[in-house]
Amino acid sequence: METSKKHFFGDMSVMLGRSMRHIFRSMDTIITVCITPIAMMLLFVYVFGGALQVGTDNYVNYLLPGILLMAIASGIAYTAYRLFMDMQRGIFERFHSMPIARSAALWGHVLTSLVSNAISVVVIILAALIMGFRSSAGILPWLAVAGILALFTLALTWVAAIAGLSAKTVDGASAFSYPIMFLPFISSAFVPTESMPSAVRAFAENQPVTSIVNAIRALLSGQSVGNDIWVALAWCIGITIVAYIFAIRAYKKHV
Amino acid sequence: MTETAIQVKGLQKSFKKLSVLKGVDFEVEKGSIFALLGSNGAGKTTIVKILTTLLIQDSGTAAVNGFDIVSKPDNVRQSISLTGQFAAVDEILTGRENLVMIAKLRHLNDPRQIAEDLLKRFGLTDAADRRVSTYSGGMRRRLDISMSLIGKPQVIFLDEPTTGLDPEARIEVWKVVKELANSGTTVFLTTQYLDEAEQLADRIAILHEGKIIANGTLAELKKLFPPAKLEYVEKQLTLEEIFLAIISKKEER
């Protein structure tokens, strides 16, 4: 017991190094989690943007929070995929028959998800800066944004873990992410919810993405965040706890 | 008295209603090669999984390297390594990276040197920095086994190590297994090939319908059957012998 616990963080960082190599060697992953969101941003700003009425002159500022959430949603699909492949290929069996903490393999994937999504978020923000994104926010609001995005990533990562650990096929492992990637469209991410028909608007205003987008948008533009940040935090923490319980249950079935 | 590396008593395991192991008993001597022979679905992999702490038995006891597998799983994992039925190597990493990763996870000093030595020993130096996805089945298996040797575990489990390999790669694996046993490592291997058990094993146990129905050295097992009749038959080459002869001629040229 002692030796495997003592090396927990060392083992986890070996797992992190392994999965990060997987990401950087997969063109497909890089295109989906970095290039596609940037392309979406270009499309919305320079093609649709002129026709959208959002009440701001700088549409990049308005759009960025939603794009970041979409990038994270597509990023965690790969977390599910990598977990599924590890289960299938037997490499988990090798790890589990070695004197390392059993949870190190799973937590390695969770850590990878946080680190890799953080990288793609930074790349997308840099692209947005080139496109004219500007923020008046100081250090503290930026830290708050980073915190919300990290929590959102963590929540979706555990959802992804359920899918990756209990899927029967590769397609099943990543299919769950499509509805999540669609949520930003029916939210305040691209246009204000006031412009939607009442039923759609009711859904949009009461789903997690809207409160998270609004909170991030307010933080970045230096406005008061009001209630949105608490609703956003409640969603993220709630999803994390529930998904964590189910993911661990699915993991225990395998070990 | 010789020491035992693996001790199994009354092992039972069912999956839902299906009873796979119905009371399995055997012992494996330290430093020997023990082959568990059985057809597909006989329960060989289930035994391997239980002994390597991946599964917990329903009843019965087992000890590996003197440690009970249920109450002292960490000590067991410290003493063993597993090469599963499907090569458990990371396809996206290179051969070298795979070895370094395992050496780091075993918390050994100088993982790079360990990797270098094993690559040389298993003839993988030229392919060391290529991704494993480009390896042939035999190379993958060699890498898999070399990963299992890191940290010098006392007991090595090889679950059907030559299934799906071509004859040449098979003989290479046999050579490695023999070397291992010569260096004092206990090897527990499962196979469905009779000739493999015959070639390698000091002791052979036959698992059939969840029970060990025979257990002994090759000579002992032979005695269980009526003595061979002396007959004169023209020696026919097996296809395997022909294949290997042609291949080696080609290589000589």
Whether the Cβ atoms of residue A97 and residue B81 lie closer than 8 Å to each other = yes
Contact B74 A14 (CB under 8 A): no
Q: Which two tokens stand for residue A101?
A: 């903490």
Query: How many separate domains does chain B show?
Result: 1
Tell whether B14 is covered by a domain: yes
Contacts of B71 in chain A (CB under 8 A): none
Domain containing B162: what range? 4-90+153-252
Note down pLDDT in tens along chain B; length 253 residues.
Answer: 458 999 999 999 999 888 999 999 999 999 999 999 988 888 999 999 999 999 999 999 999 999 999 999 999 999 999 988 777 899 999 999 999 999 999 999 999 999 999 999 888 999 999 999 999 888 898 899 999 999 999 999 999 988 888 888 888 889 889 988 888 899 999 998 888 888 899 999 999 889 998 899 888 887 777 666 677 777 777 777 777 777 776 666 5
Q: How many CB pairs under 8 A join A and B?
A: 66
A23: pLDDT strictly greater than 50? yes
Whether the Cβ atoms of residue A151 and residue A237 lie closer than 8 Å to each other = yes
Average pLDDT of the segment spanning A129-147: 93
- Please name the member of A1, A21, A93 whose beta carbon is closest to the beta carbon of B74: A1
Contact A98 B89 (CB under 8 A): no
- Please name the member of A11, A14, A93 whose beta carbon is closest to the beta carbon of B82: A93
- Could you tell me which residue, A152 or B163, shows the higher pLDDT? A152
A68: pLDDT strictly greater than 90? yes
Tell whether B123 is covered by a domain: no
Select the residue from B90, B112, B131, B134 to test the A interface by mutation, using most A Cβ atoms within 10 A: B90
A1: pLDDT strictly greater than 50? no
Q: Which two tokens stand for residue A197?
A: 């028909």
Contacts of B161 in chain A (CB under 8 A): none
Nearest alpha carbon to residue B157 among B132, B185, B138? B185
Tell whether B146 is covered by a domain: no
Estimate to the nearest angstrom the gap between the alpha carbon of B132 and the chain centroid: 21
Q: Note whether B152 contacts A: Cβ–Cβ < 8 A.
A: no
The string of pLDDT tens digits covering residues A195-204 is 899 999 999 9
In sequence order, what are the beta bridge partners of B216?
A: B204
For A98, nearest residue in chain B (alpha carbons): B77
Summary mean pLDDT of chain A: 91
**Cα distance between residue A76 and residue A78, in whole Å:** 5
**pLDDT band at A102, cuts 50/70/90?**
confident
Contact A98 B77 (CB under 8 A): yes
**pLDDT band at A16, cuts 50/70/90?**
very high
Domain CATH for B240: 3.40.50.300
Contacts of A3 in chain B (CB under 8 A): 74, 78, 107
Tell whether B104 is covered by a domain: no
Contacts of A96 in chain B (CB under 8 A): 53-54
Predicted pLDDT at A187: 92
Tell whether B127 is covered by a domain: no
- Please name the member of B52, B82, B105 whose beta carbon is closest to the beta carbon of A14: B105
Tell whether B139 is covered by a domain: no
- Please name the member of B77, B87, B93 whose beta carbon is closest to the beta carbon of A99: B77
The pTM score is 0.86
**Cα distance between residue A55 and residue B89, in whole Å:** 55
For B100, nearest residue in chain A (alpha carbons): A14
Contact B74 A3 (CB under 8 A): yes
Alpha helices per DSSP H over chain B: 44-51, 73-79, 95-105, 111-121, 137-149, 167-182, 194-200, 218-223, 239-252
Tell whether B71 is covered by a domain: yes
Contact A100 B105 (CB under 8 A): yes
Contact B88 A22 (CB under 8 A): no
**Residue ranges of domains in chain A:** 2-254
Nearest alpha carbon to residue A84 among A176, A181, A178, A161? A161
In sequence order, what are the beta bridge partners of A35?
A: none
**CB neighbourhood size of B27 (10 A):** 16
Contact B54 A94 (CB under 8 A): no
Whether the Cβ atoms of residue B38 and residue B26 lie closer than 8 Å to each other = no
Q: How many angstroms separate the CA of residue A149 from the nearest CA in chain B?
A: 29
Q: Which residues of A touch B (CB under 8 A)?
A: 1, 3-4, 7, 10-11, 14, 17-18, 21-22, 25-26, 89-91, 93-100, 255
**pLDDT band at A54, cuts 50/70/90?**
confident
- Please name the member of B78, B88, B93 whose beta carbon is closest to the beta carbon of A90: B88
- Sheet-wide strand order for B211-216: B80-83, B155-159, B186-191, B33-37, B203-208, B211-216
Which residue is listed with tokens 């661990």? A248
Tell whether B98 is covered by a domain: no
